[in-house]
Structure 1
């Protein structure tokens, strides 16, 4: 039985994110003690040309906005009273998912095969999570 789930979502595609959450809720339907750790990752903007045109604390404001959006999303998609932890991480997607999975000692990671709709294979981040993580992973299409 899975008690602690890490649900990796992309806030730029809320329909797919809802699918991942619905799947997690189905898996744990008979477990009232399930804890859902919902994570979204903000990748840093390293391109010095682009970053030269952005405000000084741009990354911080993006993380704050993502946190607000993540709370709104979980409120709309999880039943009231569900144990949900919101995590907005800043870094490389697969590294952050693997780090959080180990740090939080999750029982299962749920993520999409690719964040791009109608993709035919696995994204490079999904492959890297599967390759480097010691936790079970459920990859959804």
Structure 2
């Protein structure tokens, strides 16, 4: 039985409606809670972090939270977002998705995967890393 579904969205991508709709359908079918996570880079720990204002990271997280809520309400409608948890994590994408899933005691992660570019062929796409390292089931929505 699935009690909690974690949907990982990249708010910088515009083609994530299918990922969110899939996660929402599964959650409704199972009577499960739907959590939605997006991850922003942690600007404080990188070499370039010293070039950013101290408040830049906090503002990036706030902006991402607003953008995430808007994206979700645009896709699911205002009525569909009342019971959802919107989570903005900061750091490595796949690590934060896995950490969020563990903290939320998620039974299923729904994540999108797109055709990898050359950079991802060398370091590995985030969806593949989530699938490989997740302690719960992962549903991958293939994006065109």
**TM > 0.5 fold call:** yes
Runs of 5+ unmatched residues, structure 2: none
Alpha-carbon distance in structure 2 between the residues aligned to 1:47 and 1:94: 17
Runs of 4+ with deviation above 4 angstroms: 120-123
Q: 1:139 matched to which residue of 2? A: 140
Runs of 5+ unmatched residues, structure 1: none
Q: TM-score, normalised by structure 1?
A: 0.82
1:1-141 paired onto structure 2 within 5 Å: 1-15=1-15, 17-31=16-30, 33-45=31-43, 46-48=45-47, 50-79=48-77, 80-82=79-81, 83-114=83-114, 118-119=115-116, 123-141=124-142
Q: Deviations over 1:86-130 (max 9, x none)?
A: 00001111111111111111121000124xxx4378853222212
CA shift at 1:81, angstroms?
A: 5.0
Alpha-carbon distance in structure 2 between the residues aligned to 1:47 and 1:93: 14
Q: Deviations over 1:14-55 (max 9, x none)?
A: 32x211011123334434x3311000001113442x333322
Name the Cα RMSD after superposition: 2.2
Equivalences, count? 135
More helix by share: 2
Alpha-carbon distance in structure 2 between the residues aligned to 1:28 and 1:107: 11
